[in-house]
């Protein structure tokens, strides 16, 4: 094993009362970063972030399946009052969040199975 893992972060209710979304962090030990996977239990569709994130602790803030994006909040306690947002769009890159950005807006893609 290389230390990679899939961690369940929790279930959240969407805008529709029936909608329930499971959120997972997929940690890749080889690059020391993680992608986020969102599973809609109602439609049985899964979505994943294009980018891989490192050097930050992120939590789900908002999710829009129709426009295919998620806003994540950096919960690193050492942020110095920054309220800046990093918009990475569809970039399939390794994003080092650090302590500069409080929010990260990232596009998500549908996983076809």
Q: To which residue do tokens 């309220």 refer?
A: 83
State pTM to two decimals: 0.82
β-strands 5-13, 20-28: how paired? antiparallel
pLDDT per residue of the chain (113 residues) written in tens, 0 to 9: 678 999 998 898 766 667 789 999 999 998 888 999 999 998 999 999 998 988 777 777 888 888 999 988 887 656 566 678 888 888 888 888 766 778 889 999 999 76
Interatomic CA distance for residues 40 and 96, integer angstroms: 28
β-strands 58-64, 69-74: how paired? antiparallel
Burial label for 14, CB within 10 Å (0-12, 13-18, 19+), is: middle
């Amino acid at each position: 094993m290389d230390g990679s893992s899939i961690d369940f972060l929790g279930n959240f209710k969407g805008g529709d009362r029936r909608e329930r979304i499971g959120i997972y962090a997929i940690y890749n030990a080889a690059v020391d970063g993680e992608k986020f996977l969102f599973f809609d239990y109602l439609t049985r569709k899964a979505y994943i972030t294009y980018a891989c994130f490192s050097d930050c602790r992120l939590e789900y803030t908002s999710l829009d399946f129709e426009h295919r994006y998620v806003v994540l909040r950096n919960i690193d306690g050492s942020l110095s009052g920054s309220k800046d947002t990093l918009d990475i769009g569809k970039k399939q890159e390794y994003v080092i969040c650090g302590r500069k950005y409080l929010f990260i807006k990232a596009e998500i893609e549908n996983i076809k199975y």
